[in-house]
C-alpha cells in the first residue's frame, strides 16, 4: 500500500455537541475545541440509536481527507 491509500482508510474520532438539525438528515456538530462540522448519522439500521436532539453529546468520525464533514457513530 502506498501513502495515499493509507490516508483514505485512517479516521479520527472526536466528541461534540449537536448544535442544529439541518435538512436532508444532516446535523451541525460543535467539536470540542476545534469548531463546527457537518455530520450525518452513519451505520446500519440495526445500529439505530434513536432520534438526535439539539444539545445531545455525540461521537463523530472524521476522515483524514476532510475535517469539515463527518459521520455520527453514537451518542456519548
Provide the pLDDT for residue 59.
93
- pLDDT tens-digit profile of 12-33? 899 999 999 999 889 999 997 7
Provide the pLDDT for residue 76.
84
Provide the pLDDT for residue 60.
93
Backbone angles phi, psi at 18, to 5 degrees: -70, 120
The pTM of the full predicted model, rounded to 2 decimals, is: 0.77
- pLDDT tens-digit profile of 41-59? 887 655 555 688 999 999 9
Q: From CA 73, how far away is CA 15, in angstroms rounded?
A: 10
pLDDT exceeds 80 at position 10: no
Q: From CA 24, how far away is CA 40, in angstroms rounded?
A: 9
Q: From CA 76, how far away is CA 65, in angstroms rounded?
A: 24
Q: For cell 475545541, what's the residue?
A: 33
Q: What is the CATH number of domain 3-75?
A: 2.40.50.140
Locate the domains of the chain by residue range.
Answer: 3-75
Which residue from 19, 51, 42 is spatially nearest to 32, judged by alpha carbons? Answer: 19
Amino acid at each position: 500500500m502506498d501513502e495515499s491509500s493509507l490516508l483514505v482508510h485512517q479516521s479520527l474520532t472526536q466528541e461534540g455537541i449537536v448544535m442544529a438539525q439541518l435538512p436532508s438528515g444532516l446535523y451541525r456538530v460543535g467539536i470540542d475545541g476545534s469548531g463546527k462540522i457537518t455530520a450525518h448519522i452513519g451505520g446500519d439500521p440495526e445500529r439505530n440509536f434513536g432520534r438526535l436532539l439539539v444539545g445531545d453529546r455525540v461521537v463523530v468520525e472524521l476522515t483524514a481527507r476532510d475535517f469539515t464533514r463527518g459521520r455520527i457513530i453514537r451518542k456519548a
